[in-house]
Amino acid sequence: EKGNFRHFMQKEIFEQPTVVAQTLNSYLRQIDQSVALPQIDFDLSAIRRVTIVACGTSYYAGMVAKYWLETFARLPVDIDFASEFRYRDPVLEPGGLALFISQSGETADTLAALRHCKAAGQTVAVLVNVPTSSMAREADLRLPTHAGPEIGVASTKAFTCQLAVLAALAAHMAVRRGRFDRAEERDVVAHLAEAPAALNAALAHDADIAAMAHLIAPARDVLYLGRGPDYPLALEGALKLKEISYIHAEGYASGEMKHGPIALIDEAVPVIVLAPSGPLFEKTVSNMQEVRARGGKIVLVSDAEGIAEAGEGCMATIEMPRVHPLIAPLVYAVPVQLIAYHVAVAKGTDVDQPRNLAKSVTVE
């Protein structure tokens, strides 16, 4: 049921504070501010490396997780699209954890990759939203997201719930590997617990985003830029826009722009910059100057501090709450989803059932 919403996608975007809180509830123990993973009957501290395999939006959640697992747990992380992983004869050594991320738990390439890893003796963990799915049944370790049924073909709430679990997992691995002391664990738990309120604050800017959608809707091409853990959000933004508005879009790591894509920049190609203020912000500001010097039109998505510093001369700015860098990828998912949503609505495309797409891709 859509309730008061016009589309399932819109309803699911607005459910995120609730479902992320629900998901976090089963991973964070408030009583001692610790992370607790469900159903573990093997020794996670013995894991030597992590291989993440997924498709589409779930793959982008995995890209963010690579930053967290490396930074917090100092674990080497390899990540690949399921369709590539399967056919490249990957090196899978003893002590490896293979982590599969999937909303449906049925994506054919991801499931085949899971079976391959299991046969190769890897410990198999799955992060799935459908608890009765094939992937859930075949895994050694199940990490459920509690996003509830996702009806819109474009994944939204499953993604932010995946990120919430992945952050908890990275913190837990850090504790088990002796990289985090209690204070560091409590810190991560406290920041994650702020995510639902921060998501609400991001959603409060829905009307601003709706009001600027007409600036993007006529474009033939759109670029998204992001850095560090927010770079995968640029990829996710481009995917969402392509999927539901049929506008060609590309996501780039901000610093890569001058190595090619900058040739595309002119006043007809909007550039959406995802840049929370913080240690990487200055770098992104210089990338924005490169765009502006070539007549590019920028939409800056940042917090008040970032907008005060770099908002001048932008075609539009979208203000996000100021948040800890850990939860920025969750919070910046909201404007990315809402931009795609409102541009699609402005163009009159079928938001919930985009052409050529199916909710669950069970063919290879």
Residue numbers annotated as active site: 359
Contact flag: residue 155 with ligand F6R (CB under 6 A): yes
What phi and psi values does residue 301 have, to the nearest 5 degrees? -105, 110
User: Is residue 16 a contact point for ligand F6R (CB under 6 A)?
Assistant: no
CB of 361 to ligand F6R, least distance (A): 5
* Closest separation in Å from C-beta 219 to ligand F6R: 20
On whether the CB atoms of residues 349 and 253 are closer than 8 A, the answer is no
Work out which of 10, 16, 103, 123 binds ligand F6R, going by CB under 6 A.
Answer: 103
Q: Which is nearer to ligand F6R, 55 or 189 (CB)?
A: 55
Cα(106)–Cα(128) distance, rounded to whole angstroms?
9
DSSP state of 295: T
Q: Does residue 232 interact with ligand F6R by CB under 6 A?
A: no
Residue nearest ligand F6R, Cβ-based: 56
| Out of 243, 250, 303, 352, the residue judged to bind ligand F6R by CB under 6 A | 243
Kindly report the backbone phi and psi dihedral angles of residue 10, in degrees, each rounded to the nearest multiple of 5, phi listed first.
-65, -45
Part in contact with ligand F6R (CB under 6 A); list of ranges 97-105, 251-259, 269-277, 289-297? 97-105
CB atoms under 10 Å from CB of 18, counted, come to: 16
Does 145 engage in binding with ligand F6R (CB under 6 A)? no
C-alpha distances in angstroms, 168 versus 40, 104, 163, 259?
A: 14, 21, 9, 35
- Cα–Cα distance between 78 and 89 in angstroms, integer? 14
Distance CA 298, CA 289 (A): 10
Closest to ligand F6R by CB, 57 or 302: 57
Among 16, 104, 123, 134, binds ligand F6R (CB under 6 A): 104
Q: Which of 23, 37, 56, 90 binds ligand F6R (CB under 6 A)?
A: 56
DSSP single-letter state for residue 101: E
Stretch that binds ligand F6R, among 103-111, 262-270, 315-323, 333-341 (CB under 6 A): 103-111
Q: Please report whether residue 55 would count as binding ligand F6R according to CB under 6 A.
A: yes
Region of 165 please: left (phi>0), alpha (psi -120 to 50) or beta: alpha
Binders of ligand F6R in range 254-313 (CB under 6 A): none
Helix axes 206-216, 328-347, angle to 10 degrees: 50
Scan for tokens 């001369």, then name that residue: 313
Contact set with ligand F6R (CB under 6 A)? 55-58, 102-104, 107, 110, 154-155, 239, 243, 360-361
